[in-house]
Structure 1
């Protein structure tokens, strides 16, 4: 393994492997099919990247996550390792050229989505590539019992038959025993070496706190633990709201969600990574590829929809090995809200068919057409036009995305359409009088020949790249030209784009995948009930509940979760609490939350002691709802 260690040091600047990375790498190097279950933060990518670097040829990586593919390619390129990701939206001719590049361009890693393998010609081309290893990331997607089943993954068994002598490495961070067996079966792995890293995180304290004032509890947590923290929320609005509230309380906070432009995402993430912001408030769009070792606390202020996601998100704390906290804040209404948010918005077959049909009509796609075409898409306009419920519609689109029928990409670009309304010779005269605008205008004129005859949609990234200008500079120019009545300009925000991976076939398309929809809905109901059990169970160690969910038996309590602490906590005498409160009130008035925090009491203990003092006429309340000595 010395060569593997040398590569690890040379490219990743690590001196040792984590358990069981070295054993997985050795298995791959011996040419064995391998299954690896490594919970979040375990370093799965190294398990295929290092052996691929040790062998001649190219490693094929199958991943369903475009953002993760791009992130891994960018990280490899930073290390001067040639890698390429063939994501959705690439046409057939360009895809063919890129596959040629893989064959002759000394690439070491080729990242593909599983949907790409549904085209027979792509598999034929891959057979001609010098593949040394096939790594299947997020392998639980191959199992219909997994929490994110994607039928396109089933195509990988055909790939296995075409590459019989190439080792396959299946990797996942979260899979129950049933899902693990299904992965091995569905992929056709031959006598695989199996490696499982325990889901136990000895340094991570799982805490569930019931509180009506979540912001106050967050304030307490962040004050007590000033190290880097993540707060997960359900939606974009909450990102902005909670971040602003924390800033008003004096915390350095930023936010992250899928609706931000790439530059803003990167800027906010860097504020947190460089610790110019203590806390980042985020949706579940945040986290992929993030490996910040010193995250102390991860707080969820709404119920997650499943324990797989919760385990991965909470597990971003404490990767340094230091004690850390995964905190879930709940109140009386959260379970009812959760059922409404997660279960009542699950689409059935009829609704799915309606959304798919109306989506094609909205984008003006004819029956039998649309394959490999990409459209800017404004989700809100779509829902408003057809009076569709937003959450249920989004779930339907996500299901169609997971089935590989379409790819929903949240790029948040603007659709810009222009047409010149003056003759070309007048445009050239304008250029001669305004040389600062020449480069951008010439790029537009060279790339859009019909722009004098009809309204033409602009590819803003093409214009900015070729003219070496920013999008803001290009838009400023177009707006000036519109004001001078040189062009007509229409600009409409589009919060995403949609790529269709199949031709439109309405009934046939939906009937083919609807059998998976009911099964997926049943799984989501089961998963949410397990979340409810995790929150409401007051008789079991929280760490043990998580381990049992993943079919890992544990006989010992963790000793550090909220259950274990409450079980081991000695009850506080009401008289002692009352006397302690009197001592604090000698220095001035306080409210119940301040007293609770200063004395490290539970809410119930604080209220009981205050009632005791009020009944005995030792304290009173002032007009500010504070307690004061009589």
Structure 2
């Protein structure tokens, strides 16, 4: 273990491992199939990166999270460790070059999406590599009972045939008992050693509050806890709206979602990481690879889709082990809204087939064609053209993405088209007069030989790589050429890239994948029911509800969640509070917040007494949500 610790100190600058990391690493180094359930923030990547660096050969990492793969590859490269990722949208010729680099270039890590294992030629190439460890990240995706099942994961077990002596390491942050059993079976793990960290986070107070005015409660929480905070919302529009509202209230806030450019994402994230702002309002696109220890509060203002996502997002609070808060704000209409948003937008087979056919027509893909074709995509425009409901269409596309039929990237990208408008001899003359631009122009001409004849789609990253320059330098040269009328250069920003992973076969394609659709729809309904149970249950400790969901039984009350606090603190005598409210209403109408402030009572106590007064016909609710005495 001293060697492993030395690697940790050399590359990660840590002097000790986190809980269970060293045991997992030791198991892998002994050649054992290993299964680790480490809740968010547990440091899963170190568990495969350290043993891979200690052994000769390459670590194969299978993950569905493109952004996380790119992030890990970038971080490894910064440490001087050679790593490659085969993600969606990479052409076959480019993949061949990358796999050649793995075979002959002394690389240590090869990341790929599970869909890549659908290609026999890729498996044939992988078979020839000196694989020292096969890591399956987000291993819950292999289970039909997991919250993000992907059939492509079922292909992973075939690697056992080619690498019988290579250890498998399955990693996940959240898995119910049923999912854990399924993972072991589906991956064909041989007598795996199971490492499981408790899902208990004793320093986090899980709070569920039913409120009329969510923004007001957010304001109260942030004033009381001025440390770094995350607010999770369900859509991009809400990130900007709530961040703007908080800024107008005097808080420093920024926002984050998948549609921002890489530059905006980095800028906003760094402002929050460096505590130039207190709050970041984000969709669930925010969080992967983020490990900020001193997050004090994580607030959800809308219901999450499932308890797995909620646990991971809430768990970004309090990683420094100091007291922190995971707060979920609800209102009476949230359950109805969630059912409308999640359940009514679940696609059936008929809609899935129609949407897929229209999608192929939209991009003019002929029957039997389309594999590896990549397009920029605007969901709203597509839905308007075919009069499709947006949420249902997006859910259908997500399903096809998980089935590997398409790859839908929510990362910001930039579509560039380019054409040289002067003869080749004039371009050569320009290069001789501008030698600093020569490498970039040559890289363009060698990569796109038809660029004199037509507007050509242009891969900025590829040209930057081939010319040994960064993207900003390539941009600068393109702008200069455009100003001198040497090229026609168009750049269009978009926030979604769509890749077709197989040929178009219409009903044959949909019939093959639709067998999973009904099961997945039913699973989503069950998962939403678990979320509703979590917010509605008034008789159980919130921490216990979470632990029970993940299979941990016989747990004690945490003592500091919203349930425990209301039972620990002696409630104000309801008769006295009722009389106090009646006395206040004799002086004038008040809303619940004003009553709460004037009586110095908890929200729960006030709502309970107001309900009694309403049922006994002592008070009325006005159209403007104020309470008044009955005459």
Q: Please, what TM-score do these two structures have when normalized by structure 1?
A: 0.88
Alignment of 1:434-445 (within 5 A): none
Deviation at 1:230, TM superposition (A): 0.4
1:365-398 C-alpha deviation (Å, 9 max, x unpaired): 1111111221222222211211111111111111
Instruction: Kindly state the Cα deviation for residue 547 of structure 1 after the two structures are TM-superposed.
Output: 1.0
8 Å contact kept, 1:220–1:597:
no
Distance verdict in 2 for CA 1:185–1:545, change over 3 Å: same
Q: How many Å apart are 1:444 and its aligned residue? A: 6.1
Secondary structure of residue in 1 paired with 2:366? coil
- 1:127 to 1:425, Cα distance in 2 relative to 1, 3 A: closer
Shift of 1:471: 7.7
Distance 1:154 1:250, change over 3 A: same
Q: CA deviation at 1:53?
A: 1.6
Following superposition, the deviation at residue 403 of structure 1 comes to 0.8
Q: CA deviation at 1:460?
A: 4.2
Q: Say if 1:490 and 1:44 are closer, same or farther in 2 by CA, change over 3 A.
A: closer
Structure 2 residue aligned with 1:28: 28
Unaligned stretches of 5+ residues in structure 1: 585-589, 613-624
Return the offset for 1:84. 1.4
Deviation at 1:452, TM superposition (A): 4.8
Partner in structure 2 of residue 261 of structure 1:
261
Q: Is the alpha carbon distance of 1:14 and 1:426 closer, same or farther for their aligned partners in structure 2, counting shifts above 3 Å?
A: closer
For residues 426 and 273 of structure 1, what CA distance do their matches in structure 2 show?
49
- Equivalence for 1:526: 526
Give CA deviations for 1:511-534 in whole Å, capped at 9, x if unaligned. 111000110000000000110110
Matched with 2:84 is 84
Q: Does 1:287 align with 2:287?
A: yes
- Relative distance call for 1:433 and 1:579 in structure 2 (3 A) is farther
- Residue 329 of structure 1 and its aligned partner are, at CA, apart by 0.3
| CA distance in structure 1 between the partners assigned to 2:487 and 2:415 by the alignment | 16
- Structure 1 match to 2:164: 164
Partners in 2 of 1:109 and 1:551 — Cα distance?
A: 34
Name 2:413's counterpart in structure 1.
413
Q: Do the aligned partners of residues 105 and 567 (structure 1) sit closer, same or farther apart at CA in structure 2, a change above 3 Å counting? A: same
**2:569 corresponds to 1:569:** yes
Q: Which residue of 2 aligns with 1:204?
A: 204
- Which is worse superposed, 411-420 or 103-112? 411-420
The residue correspondences of 1:423-442 to structure 2 (distance < 5 A) are none
The 5 Å alignment of 1:142-541 reads 142-417=142-417, 448-461=448-461, 466=467, 469=472, 473=476, 492-541=492-541
Per-residue CA distance 1:104-134 (angstroms, 9 max, x = gap): 2222111111111112222222222111111
Question: Aligned with 2:321: secondary structure?
Answer: coil
CA contact (8 A) 1:464 1:474 kept: no
Report the Cα distance in structure 2 between the residues aligned to 1:604 and 1:11, rounded to whole angstroms. Answer: 50
- How many Å apart are 1:23 and its aligned residue? 1.6
CA distance in 2, matches of 1:473, 1:87: 27
SS in 1 for 2:260: coil
The 2-side partners of 1:414 and 1:57 are apart by: 36
- Counterpart-to-counterpart distance in 2, 1:438 and 1:168: 47
Q: CA deviation at 1:490?
A: 5.8
1:430: Cα distance to partner? 9.5
* Alpha-carbon distance, 1:255 to partner: 0.7
1:128 maps to what in 2?
128
Q: Distance in 2 between matches of 1:443 and 1:105?
A: 22
Shift of residue 421, structure 1, vs aligned partner: 6.3
Conserved in 2, the CA contact under 8 Å of 1:207 and 1:561? yes
Q: Is the 8 A contact 1:152 1:404 kept in 2?
A: yes
Secondary structure in 1 matching 2:567: helix
Deviates more, 1:70-79 or 1:30-39: 70-79
TM-score by length of 2: 0.88
Give the distance between the partners of 2:604 and 2:544, measured in 1 at CA: 26
TM-aligned CA deviation for residue 290 of structure 1? 0.6
Identify the residue that residue 617 of structure 1 maps to in structure 2: none
Structure 1 residue 555: Cα displacement: 3.5
Distance of 2:599 and 2:317 partners within structure 1: 27
Question: CA separation of 1:605/1:384 partners in 2, compared to 1, >3 Å: closer, same or farther?
Answer: same
**Residues 426/598 of structure 1: CA separation in 2 closer, same or farther (3 Å cut):** farther
SS at match of 1:340: helix
* 1:93 aligned partner: 93
Shift of 1:4: 1.6
Map of 1:51-130 to 2, 5 A cutoff?
Answer: 51-130=51-130
Number of residue pairs the alignment of both structures matches: 610
Quickly say closer, same or farther: Cα 1:477–1:384, change in 2 above 3 A.
Answer: farther
Aligned mates of 1:427, 1:474 — CA distance in 2: 13
Paired residues of 1:256 and 1:282 also in contact (CA < 8 A): yes
Partner-residue secondary structure (3-state), 2:195: strand
Q: CA deviation at 1:9?
A: 1.8
Q: Which stretches in structure 2 are left out of the alignment for 5+ residues?
A: 585-589, 614-625
Residues 423/162 of structure 1: CA separation in 2 closer, same or farther (3 Å cut) = closer
Q: Secondary structure at the match of 2:558?
A: coil
Per-residue CA deviations over 1:408-431 (Å, capped at 9, x if unaligned) read: 112433434455667778889999
**2: distance between equivalents of 1:203 and 1:345?**
37
Moved more, 215-224 or 452-461: 452-461
Q: Distance in 2 between matches of 1:163 and 1:443?
A: 39
- In the alignment, the residues of structure 1 paired with residue 51 and residue 39 of structure 2 have an alpha-carbon distance, to the nearest angstrom, of 20
Deviation at 1:576, TM superposition (A): 7.8
- Tell me how far apart the structure 1 counterparts of residues 192 and 90 of structure 2 sit (CA, whole Å): 34
Q: Is the 8 A contact 2:34 2:170 kept in 1?
A: yes
| 1:534–1:545 Cα contact (<8 Å) kept | yes
CA contact (8 A) 1:378 1:493 kept: no
Q: 1:144-202, CA deviations, whole angstroms, 9 ceiling, x for partnerless residues?
A: 11111111111111001211001111111111111111110111111111111111111
Q: What is the rounded CA distance, in whole Å, between the counterparts of 1:142 and 1:180 in structure 2? A: 10
Determine the C-alpha separation between the residues in 1 that align with 2:278 and 2:13.
27
Distance 1:310 1:446, change over 3 A: same
CA distance in 1, matches of 2:52, 2:146: 28
Greater mean alpha carbon deviation, residues 438-447 or residues 78-87: 438-447
Contact 1:365 1:504 in 2 (8 A): yes
